């Protein structure tokens, strides 16, 4: 059986690429098709595959500016010739699920999310405070046609998998398709409590610094509380967040996995202020025995166990977050129970769930 793996783009090792790694292990002879590939940006397991890119790869500086090519992405993903493959697996948060399978092939999409920026989170990316007039005007003109393509191309998928019940509901809402939920994994073998418990007097954020992450809520809350906050990450919101932050807030940039693990182990808790489709970072922190203070919406409701591995704040406001932090500090936390909860999301369990799913559909 010939297998094709279709991924939106390969420009770094994030949660989506860690899922792709698992598919590479399950289907060791599969070829990879992706819009853009920055060589050396992903793991050896992925880099060692045959990687076929689209015509977008030829555009100068595309590896840094690929997001501006959004209007061309549907055509680019459709340009791949997948006619010789029996099974197509797309791992999609943008256009990968729009790949065209051969007439006798099965197409399974592991959907991280329908495209946020053309559906329900449009203003988070292209609102007046996020983008200039020219960009907003152009995207508004294209939004309707992108939505039509996104909905129509969902019919090319025979089986949808979703990374959370939250995403499954969005798939139903936008595509009118049912999805089976298989939670992705956290690296619970790497992220551990360590040889001895650590606790320093700071809170932690590990995140891309992007508008939809709602990090400004955390900055405002910690400005008001005066407590220490360390932020690991980089992205387009860095300058505006720094401009608003008090001296008790440190911006550390991206750090190595080992440094991130050390910060998880040492912090009081992880702050998770946005609405995420799933969210690997809270599970990494919990695997290190540290609780999470999360906004009570989206995938966090499926990964954080209230008063066991974390607490929720109910309103998307700095005041609500500050109140949750104050409530959190009155609770006694058990690192072993927090760690035990995270272990349910191990790589072993993820692989077993995927194997069971593919055994079922391929034998049908």
pLDDT in tens, 12-71: 888 899 999 999 999 999 999 999 999 999 999 999 999 999 999 999 988 888 877 888
Domain 203-344: CATH architecture, name and number where available:
3-Layer(aba) Sandwich (3.40)
Q: What angle do CA 155, 140, 54 make, to 5 degrees?
A: 50
Domain ranges of the chain: 3-185+347-362, 203-344
| DSSP 8-state symbol, 66 | G
CA neighbours within 13 Å on the CB side: how many for 266? 13
* Structure token pair of residue 182: 């298989």
140 vs 51, 115, 125, 193, CA distance in Å?
33, 15, 12, 47
Give the range among 23-37, 67-81, 124-138, 164-178 with minimum mean pLDDT: 124-138
Nearest Cα to 37, choosing from 70, 3, 67, 62? 62
Q: Which fold has domain 3-185+347-362?
A: Rossmann fold (3.40.50)
Which of these, 165, 47, 40, lies nearest to 111 by C-alpha position? 165
Q: What is the pTM of this model?
A: 0.89
Evaluate whether 346 touches 18 at the Cβ level (below 8 Å): no
Distance between CA atoms of residues 343 and 69, nearest Å? 39
* Least confident among 19-28, 121-130, 247-256, 299-308: 121-130
- Residue 25 to residue 338: CA distance in whole angstroms: 29
Give me the mean pLDDT over the 121-129 stretch: 60
pLDDT (0 to 100) of residue 15: 87
Say what the pLDDT of residue 121 is: 64
Determine which helix (DSSP H) or strand (DSSP E) holds 140, and give its type and residue range: helix 133-153
């Amino acid at each position: 059986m010939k297998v094709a793996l279709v991924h939106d783009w390969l420009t770094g090792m994030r949660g989506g690429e860690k899922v792709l790694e698992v598919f590479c292990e399950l289907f060791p002879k599969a070829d990879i098709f992706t819009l853009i590939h920055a060589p050396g940006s992903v793991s050896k397991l992925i880099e060692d595959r045959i990687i076929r890119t689209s015509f977008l790869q030829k555009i100068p500086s595309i590896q840094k500016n690929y997001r501006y090519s959004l209007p061309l992405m549907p055509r680019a993903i459709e340009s791949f010739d997948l006619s010789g493959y029996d099974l197509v697996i797309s791992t999609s948060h943008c256009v990968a699920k729009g790949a065209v399978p051969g007439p006798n092939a099965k197409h399974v999409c592991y959907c991280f999310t329908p495209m946020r920026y053309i559906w329900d989170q449009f203003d988070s990316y292209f609102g007046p405070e996020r983008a200039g007039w020219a960009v907003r005007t152009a995207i508004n003109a294209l939004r309707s046609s992108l939505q039509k393509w996104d909905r129509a191309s969902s019919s090319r998928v025979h089986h949808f998998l979703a990374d959370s019940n939250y995403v499954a509901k969005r798939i139903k809402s936008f595509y009118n398709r049912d999805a089976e939920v298989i939670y992705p994994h956290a690296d619970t073998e790497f992220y551990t409590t360590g040889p001895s418990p650590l606790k320093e007097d700071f809170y932690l954020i590990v995140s891309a610094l992007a508008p939809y992450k709602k990090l400004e809520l955390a900055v405002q809350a910690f400005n008001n509380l005066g407590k220490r906050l360390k932020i690991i990450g980089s992205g387009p919101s860095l300058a505006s967040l720094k401009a608003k932050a008090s001296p008790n807030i440190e911006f550390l940039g991206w750090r190595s996995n080992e440094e991130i693990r050390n910060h998880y182990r040492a912090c009081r808790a992880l702050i998770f202020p946005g609405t995420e489709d799933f969210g690997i970072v809270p599970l990494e922190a919990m695997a290190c025995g540290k609780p999470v203070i999360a906004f009570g919406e989206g995938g966090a409701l499926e990964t954080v166990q209230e008063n066991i591995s974390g607490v929720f704040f109910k309103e998307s406001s700095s005041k609500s977050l500050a109140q949750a932090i104050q409530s959190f500090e009155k609770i006694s936390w058990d690192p072993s129970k927090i760690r035990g909860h995270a272990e349910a999301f191990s790589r072993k369990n993820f692989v077993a769930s995927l194997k069971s799913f593919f055994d079922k559909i391929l034998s049908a």
